[in-house]
Each structure stands twice: as C-alpha cells, then as structure tokens.
Amino acid sequence: MSALTVTEAHVEYRSRGRGLVRAVDGVSLTVQAGQIVGLVGESGCGKSSLARAVVGMEPVTSGEIALDGRPVPPLGWRRRSGPDLRLQMVFQNPYASLNPRRSVGDQITDGLAVPREEQGREVARLLELVGLEPEAADRYPHQFSGGQRQRVAIARALAARPDVLVADEPVTALDASSQAQIVNLLTSLVDDLGLGMLFISHDLALVREIADVTAVMYLGRIVEHGPTEQVWSQPRHPYTRTLIEALPRISADAHLPVGLRGEVPDGAHVPTGCRFRTRCPAVMPICTTEPPVVVDGEHTVACWLADESTLRASATEGAR
Ligand SMILES: Nc1ncnc2c1ncn2[C@@H]1O[C@H](COP(=O)(O)OP(=O)(O)O)[C@@H](O)[C@H]1O
Ligand SMILES: [Mg+2]
C-alpha cells in the first residue's frame, strides 16, 4: 500500500523585486506506510516549500498530492483540525509551532478525533507515546526543554492519527542529546505505528542513518532518488557526490555543502539546460542547452552523465 504520492508538484512564489520563484519545480515522490523517505539538499532548494505543499499549507500551482490514490485538497478547503487531517507536520522550531498561552493538553486535544469523554485518556496516551508524563498536559510550552517541546509537538501531530508525518528539520534546533532522542522517537513511531515519514534535513549523515529512501533536491527538483544505501554507495549525480565527499569535513549542524563552488542560483533565475551546470565539476556542452536526461528506475538520476551515448560523444569531442 502506498500512503503518500506527490506527482509533478510545483510551488511558485511571486514576490516584488525578485519575480517568479519556482521553489518546487516538478517534484514527484512516494512515501509508503512504515517507510522513511529522507529529503536532502542545500538551504533554499525548496524543501520546506515542498513540505508545506504536501500538508496543504501551501497551494501547489500544479501537480497533485494524494493519499492512497485519493487527492488531498488544500487546507483551506478542509477543517483545520479534526479526523480528516491524515497528513501532519512537525516543524523545526517547536517553540514557534506551539501556542505559548495554552496548556499542552488543550493543544493536543484540538487535534483529537475521539469523543469528548475519551479525550483526557487519549491525551495521556499520546503524551506517554512520546515519552512524557501524563501530568505534562497541565503545563505550558515554556515549562519544557527544547527536546520536550518537540515531543509535545509530535504528540499534537499524532492526535489526528495521521498516516504520514512530514518532519521539516525536526532536530536542527535542538542540542545534540535531544537530537538523538527525538530521532529515536520518530523512527520508533514509524516502526510501531506504521507511519510513513518524509524526513527533511540538510544533515546527510543523519538521513543515511534513518532513511529507507533518499531523495536529493537541487533548486526545486529531485536530481537523484533511490534506496539510501545505493544513493550513498553509488551516487550517480555529481551534486550527490559532492555532498557526500564534503561530509567528513563538516559538523552535523553546518550548512551543506563545503565542496561546491559558487552559490546556489536564485530560484527566480534557474539556469538553462541542467540547473546544476553552473556548479557542476563535470559539466559538458549539452548541459547548457538541454535539460538532463532522467534515467528512471529504483535508483533514478537526472544527469547527462548517466547517458552512455552522450558520454561517448563528449569523450570524442574532447579527444579531437
Ligand atoms: N513565502 C515565500 N515567499 C517568497 N519566496 C519564498 C517563500 N518561501 C520560500 N521562498 C523561496 O523559495 C525558495 C525555496 O525556499 P525553501 O522552500 O524555504 O527552501 P529550503 O527549505 O530548502 O531551505 C527560496 O528561494 C526561498 O527564498
Ligand atoms: Mg527549510
């Protein structure tokens, strides 16, 4: 059973001075029940825009988000809380995503889909599920540590009994020991509840550790996608290779990548041909004019290097 399918999703922003930014420019991916799909890529490549589109907080300009084959309408068209929210999001900053003026129990209750008389018991169950005492229900967000607050945010997301959690840099704002604990909590929820999880992070090492499938995003597109071990041991896209090579030299909280030349181009001015060509160490003439060939399959890549005949032609050019 496939839980979440994203098909050719586009998210665009129109802002004064900058023009049209194609933040998500044709992304397709699937998250199965009980599966962790890791989404990696530099800051500004569109990860959060995709996350918000998936949970309906950002409209897609085209494309489709579907659960078990049924299209998910944007948030504005459905209730903001309630049983129909099968896609839930966990944000980077649990302080900003929780209301400081309402008790933890009240905030979790908002998302519940159970009869009133069962709410107290259900809140206690959810708190326990995320490793907190039932008494936490009466307290307020500021009375918790960062890691505990993220547990509260996760309990609130689970209240609606979602099928898929979208976690956008869920541990980036936490200290190292809380990071490990929250990662453990999220992975055990996937195992125990059969949730699907789209796990977004700029931390490639962490994604390698927990994700079944890894998707690498560059300037609004997935450039490589496949089983994590394959992407890791046989990266096919020069961007992925550079990210992996840069890994031992950066600490977990540093921003990727170190080994790449130049800046990420502005999403309002995407390069012609292959969008990675301005920074690619292996750029060929065809990359300037033609969008990359997509070699599909379990391990997909969008790059002319993956096309044998182009490689041969380019080698002959070089020899002349
Ligand atoms: N609300 C917005 N309005 C206009 N531009 C935005 C908005 N949110 C993000 N962007 C732009 O979209 C691109 C992708 O941003 P984002 O999705 O936040 O990337 P990431 O999460 O990978 O850092 C960037 O160029 C960013 O400046
Ligand atoms: Mg982001």
**pLDDT at position 320, please?**
53
The whole-angstrom separation of Cα 129 and Cα 21 is 40
Confidence of residue 82 (pLDDT cuts 50, 70, 90): very low
Q: Poorest-confidence range of 41-45, 142-146, 177-181, 258-262? A: 258-262
Residues 196-226: tens digit of each pLDDT? 999 999 889 999 999 999 999 999 999 999 9
DSSP letters, the chain, are -EEEEEEEEEEEEEETTTEEEEEEEEEEEEEETT-EEEEE--TTSSHHHHHHHHTTSS--SEEEEEETTEEPPPGGGS-SSSTT--EEEE-S-HHHHS-TTS-HHHHHHHT--S-GGGHHHHHHHHHHHTT--GGGGGS-GGGS-HHHHHHHHHHHHHHT--SEEEEESTTTTS-HHHHHHHHHHHHHHHHHH--EEEEE-S-HHHHHHH-SEEEEEETTEEEEEEEHHHHHHS--SHHHHHHHHHGGGS-TTSPS-SS--SPPPPTTSPPSSSTTGGG-TT--THHHHSPPPEE-SSSEEE-GGG-HHHHHHHHHHHH-
Determine the distance separating the centroid of ligand 2 and the alpha carbon of 201, expressed in angstroms.
8
Determine the distance separating the centroid of ligand 2 and the alpha carbon of 69, expressed in angstroms.
27
Q: Quote the percentage of the chain above a pLDDT of 70.
A: 91
Is the shortest distance between the CB of 52 and ligand 1 below 6 Å? Answer: no
**pLDDT at position 248, please?**
64
Determine the distance separating the centroid of ligand 1 and the alpha carbon of 311, expressed in angstroms.
34
Is the shortest distance between the CB of 255 and ligand 1 below 6 Å? Answer: no
pLDDT for 142 beyond 60: yes
Give me the mean pLDDT over the 254-260 stretch.
55
How far does CA 198 lie from the centroid of its chain? Answer: 5
Residues 104-132: tens digit of each pLDDT? 999 999 989 899 999 999 999 999 999 99
pLDDT for 255 beyond 60: no
Determine the distance separating the centroid of ligand 2 and the alpha carbon of 174, expressed in angstroms.
15
Is the shortest distance between the CB of 16 and ligand 1 below 6 Å? Answer: no
- The bound ligand whose nearest atom lies closest to the alpha carbon of 264 is 1
pLDDT for 303 beyond 60: yes
Confidence of residue 284 (pLDDT cuts 50, 70, 90): very high
Residues 84-103: tens digit of each pLDDT? 478 999 999 988 889 999 99
pLDDT for 266 beyond 70: yes
Determine the distance separating the centroid of ligand 1 and the alpha carbon of 44, expressed in angstroms.
6
Is the shortest distance between the CB of 44 and ligand 1 below 6 Å? Answer: yes
Determine the distance separating the centroid of ligand 2 and the alpha carbon of 169, expressed in angstroms.
7
**pLDDT at position 17, please?**
86
> Where do the domains of the chain lie, and which CATH numbers do they carry?
2-86+160-319 (3.40.50.300), 96-159 (no CATH)
Which numbered atom of ligand 1 lies nearest the CA of 15? 4
Is the shortest distance between the CB of 48 and ligand 1 below 6 Å? Answer: yes
Is the shortest distance between the CB of 143 and ligand 1 below 6 Å? Answer: no
Q: What is the dihedral of CA 239, 245, 246, 249, to 10 degrees?
A: 170
Torsion sign, CA atoms 190, 191, 193, 195: positive
**Mean pLDDT in the chain?**
90
